[in-house]
Every structure is written in C-alpha cells, then in structure tokens.
Structure 1
Amino acid sequence: MRLALIGFGNIATTLLTQLDAPLDAVSVLVRPDAADATRARLDGEFVKLSAERTVCTDLAGLLLTKPDLVVECAGHTAVKAFVPDLLEAGLDVILVSIGALADEALHGALTDAARDGNARLILPAGAVGGIDLLASLGAAGDLQVTYRGTKPPMAWAGTPAEETLDLEALSEPAGFFNGTARQAATDFPKNANVAATLALAGAGFEATQVELIADPQAPGNIHEYQVSSPLARYSMRIENLPSAGNAKTSVSTVYSVLREIRNRIGPVAI
C-alpha cells in the first residue's frame, strides 16, 4: 500500500508506530514550517516502514506520490482545504476530524466530491464502539440517541468550557454544555468528534443530544450513550486512556484508524 497522511502530529506518528507491515510508500502533507522536522522523524524512527518516504508541503506534491489511501488527521481546517480535491481525484480518505461534517455545506461538498471521483469518504468509529449496531438500527427510523462525554478538566483547556468553569480549581464533576451534536462538534472541534460520529451513524446532528462534563476524578476520556429504537435498546460506556501528549484525543482513536488500514490491506476484513 502507498499510504498518505495529512498532518504529522500525535495521531499520525502513533499510527505509524503501530503499522506492523512494510508499506510501498509513505507520504506526509504538512505546513512548510514543519517540513524539516517531519522529514527528520520520518527518516529516523520510521525509516524501516518504507523505502519510499516523502514530505509534501502542498496538495499537488501529495498527489504526485500516487497514494492508494489518505488519512486525514490534521483538524477541521485541513478537511476543508484538502479532502474535497483528494476525493475528486479518486482517492479514498479516512477522516479523523469527523466533527468537521457538522458544517452542512462541507458535508455536502465532500459527499459530492466522493461521488464525482468514485471515491469513498471513510468515517472510522474512533473512540466509541457500537457504531455498527447504531447504523443498522438507524435504517428503521424513530431513533433516539443521547451522548455524554466526560474528560479530565485540562482536556477541555482552550475550549468554551473555560468561559464557565475554572478548570484548574475544579474539585467535582461539572457540566458545561447541553445541546445538539451539531453545536457540540462546532464549539468543541477537538473534543466532540464522538458526538459527530454518533450523529452521522444514527439520528442525525439535530436529533442527537449531547452533554459535556469536566471531572477531576475521571480515569480518562469517558464516552457514554444510550440508544432507543423500535428494534432494540442499548447503552454503552467506554473509558479510554488519553493519547500521549494530547489529552483531548483518546488513544483508541488511533487504533480505529489502524483497523481501517488493516481491513484495506489484509485478506480478511472485520
């Protein structure tokens, strides 16, 4: 496989450390000011992953590497800037920043681009489980989904949570958001990808209700949701460890992307 990555932060580098099969090529798209540092890491700790390793600073350069699959892991701005053109070029893209699809215009543009390019926009389950069941139940309609996201206080640093809470002084759980999945994904782009994933798999952005909580006793990033449909009812609670170096992201997100890649290149997909 010829694998391309947009971004070379915590998610991308952790993903590359977990790939256990050599690749035909690895290419990475980063900002020009990050190119030298990215090239040094790629040619250092990831030298055995592939003999062909390329650092690109624009979309044209990435396309020249002829990737079979692209993984976006650089945030909402990168989704808007690069993913439509990649899909139109016929390249399948795994979207880590699923919350970007709360933007209806962008969601529509990506869907059209995938259709025009005969490509697939792949939405991994990320830090949450049961997406297969949720998507199946959604076909029957009349679906009710509520989600609660709980993280340690400093995982909410730099978000609107700081407007209502003193995160450093918090001594007990405190909720700071109640609303739709669309608003959660819009207001907390680095923290609410799970809410967006649940919405897209199930009842939609407006019908999926979200509560966000800061808890100093939280053992990690906790995702809980309840589903009710004419076919079944279920609830799920997942306690994820935060990704190293980024408390906002659950480390299982990386392994969800890894699963998508392994299903792509392995003889059996599950």
Structure 2
Amino acid sequence: MLKAGIIGYGTLGKTIAELIEAGHAGEVELKSVLVRRKNSAEHADKQTFAFISNEAEFFNGDLDIIIEAAGHQALHMFAEKVLANGSHLVVLSVGALGDNIFFEQLQTVAMQQNRQIFIPSAAIAGLDRIAAGALGEIEDITLITRKHPRSWKGTIAEEKVELHTLTEPFCIYEGNARESSKLFPQSVNVSAALSLAGIGFEDTKVKVYADPTIQSNTHTIKAKGYFGEVEISVSNIPYEENPKSSPIVAMSVAKVLKNFTSPIVIGV
C-alpha cells in the first residue's frame, strides 16, 4: 500500500483526496494533508486522513509520495524538502519549473535521493506522444488555450480588455511558454508541461484567448517533426468554484498514483 500526502486542500487537493479515498487511485492510502490552519471550518468533516499544519510533522510522516496542489509559491517552499525526505513528488504547479535554477536543483536532489518528480498530463492530452517525438527532431509546437472570460479574472487579462464586455474571442497573450507560465500561473501550467515534454520553454509557442462563446476550457496542441504531425484538442469542464482549473487535473493525478501499484500501465 502506497502512503501518500497532499500539500494544499483547495479545490484540487480536496478532489484528489476524494479520489484516493474512493479507491480510484489504486492501492494508495492518503495519510495526511498539509494545510495552513489545522482547525479551519473547511477541515471539520471527519476524514480517515490527518490535517497537519506543522511542516516538520508532515514531512516526517514516512510518506512514499507527496502531491503538490497549492500553487507556485508552495512548490518553491516545499519541493526540495519533499525529495530530501525520501518521497516522490507529483507537481501540479508546473509553471514554476520554468525557473531553470530551481528546476535543476530539484533534479539534482531527486537523483541524489533516488526519487522521481512526476508531471501529470493534467488538463491536456498527448504528452506521451510529444515526449516520444522529442527523441527525434521536432520543428514546431504550438499550444492554443481558450477559456471563458470569467476564468481570466484576477490575471493580467484584466489590464488588456474589459472581460465582461467581450462578445467574441480576444487574444490576451501570444508568445512563448516561459513567459505565459509566469503570467498565468494558475491557468497555463499546461504550457510548462508541454515544454518539458517537448522542445523547451523558449521554443514552445503559446496563444491564450478569452472566449465568451465557450463554457469549457479548451487546449489545442499542434506539433510537427520527424515523427509526423499531430493536432490534439481537449475540452475540459471547469470547476464552478474555481473556473481556472478542471476535475480532469485531479483525475490525472489519481492515474499517476494508480500506475504505481497497477500490474498493467497504459499510456506512458
């Protein structure tokens, strides 16, 4: 039985916990969740796992794997500690890995501790195809992300356009993955995951749209190279309480966990 922990208990952290508790993550036991305030009302329900606000207690819990579901700052704070304490790490705030120095430090610690850093497909599809294609030459990769204007509230998109007045799609960003993952840390982590699977942050092109004509979060990957060509589009139903993300992200984490204990692993 794999012993797991989660950093953060927001919308994603809670959904991941529910999936593990329901048995959808395979032979995994959720032991603890690291939260800021142990006694907050949202943690009042009876659970089989522990809510812990003391970092030392959490990281000394002999956990096999820890899932980061708390944002870029939390990943910077805790990622190295996760690995140094002997746990594998699942990263959701992938955009933080656009910091080359930080990413290289994590790789070094992971190798020293003989542990792995897992980056789920999360909100997109086809990372296995891109990673395989990157073993040859890839000429071009573009990610096109479209979300309803409400998903861009609280981002720099509000400086570019009056989101509530939009009646047609509006391009709020066009550039590369390194910049987009910094500008939209909660919404375009997919560009960072795609970059790591493929040809890097600088060469991965990104277009971001606020689109009032859609209700789902859509991501389209277009890539061309020695392997041929691929175009993959996904349409994700967003959380009502957090439209920047989707339930499929938590489900993707559950699949990563299930792969650890399943006799058959598909789609890697």
* Distance change >3 Å, CA 260–CA 7, structure 1 → 2: same
Match of 1:254 in 2: 250
2:171 and 2:210 in contact (8 A); partners too: yes
Kindly provide the CA deviation profile for residues 67-107 of structure 1, in whole angstroms up to 9, marking residues without a partner as x: 11101000000001001111122210110111111111211
**C-alpha distance in structure 2 between counterparts of 1:25 and 1:222, whole Å:** 31
* Distance change >3 Å, CA 218–CA 24, structure 1 → 2: closer
**C-alpha distance in structure 1 between counterparts of 2:202 and 2:119, whole Å:** 19
Q: 1:4-15 to 2 correspondence within 5 Å?
A: 4-15=5-16
Alignment partner of 1:31 is 2:31: no
State the SS of the aligned residue for 1:268.
coil
State the SS of the aligned residue for 2:265.
coil
TM-score, normalised via structure 1 length: 0.92
Kindly provide the CA deviation profile for residues 114-147 of structure 1, in whole angstroms up to 9, marking residues without a partner as x: 1121110100011111110100000112431011
2:64 and 2:86 in contact (8 A); partners too: no
Alignment partner of 1:40 is 2:41: no
Query: How far apart are residue 38 of structure 1 and its match?
Result: 5.0
Match of 2:150 in 1: 154
Query: How far apart are residue 110 of structure 1 and its match?
Result: 1.1
2:17 and 2:30 in contact (8 A); partners too: no
2:58 paired residue among 56, 62, 77 = 62
Match of 1:264 in 2: 260
Query: How far apart are residue 54 of structure 1 and its match?
Result: 1.8
AA of the residue aligned to 1:14:
T
TM-score, normalised via structure 2 length: 0.93
1:94 paired residue among 76, 90, 94 = 90
Match of 1:199 in 2: 195
Kindly provide the CA deviation profile for residues 26-77 of structure 1, in whole angstroms up to 9, marking residues without a partner as x: 2011113x54335413x2xxx3xx4xx2222232111222111101000000
**C-alpha distance in structure 2 between counterparts of 1:84 and 1:35, whole Å:** 27
State the SS of the aligned residue for 2:51.
strand
Alignment partner of 1:214 is 2:210: yes
Alignment partner of 1:107 is 2:103: yes
For structure 2, list consecutive stretches of 5 or more residues without a partner in the other structure.
none
* Distance change >3 Å, CA 258–CA 24, structure 1 → 2: closer
* Distance change >3 Å, CA 234–CA 169, structure 1 → 2: same
Q: 1:71-150 to 2 correspondence within 5 Å?
A: 71-150=67-146
1:143 and 1:202 in contact (8 A); partners too: no
**C-alpha distance in structure 1 between counterparts of 2:39 and 2:222, whole Å:** 44
Match of 2:19 in 1: 18
Tell which has more relative contact order, 1 or 2 (C-alpha 8 A, sep 6+): 2
Query: How far apart are residue 24 of structure 1 and its match?
Result: 4.0
AA of the residue aligned to 2:36:
R
* RMSD, aligned CA: 1.5
**C-alpha distance in structure 1 between counterparts of 2:209 and 2:250, whole Å:** 23
**C-alpha distance in structure 2 between counterparts of 1:264 and 1:193, whole Å:** 24
2:68 and 2:92 in contact (8 A); partners too: yes
For structure 1, list consecutive stretches of 5 or more residues without a partner in the other structure.
none
1:174 and 1:213 in contact (8 A); partners too: yes
Match of 2:3 in 1: 2
* Distance change >3 Å, CA 18–CA 142, structure 1 → 2: closer
**C-alpha distance in structure 2 between counterparts of 1:29 and 1:17, whole Å:** 15
**C-alpha distance in structure 2 between counterparts of 1:109 and 1:38, whole Å:** 35
Count of residue correspondences: 261
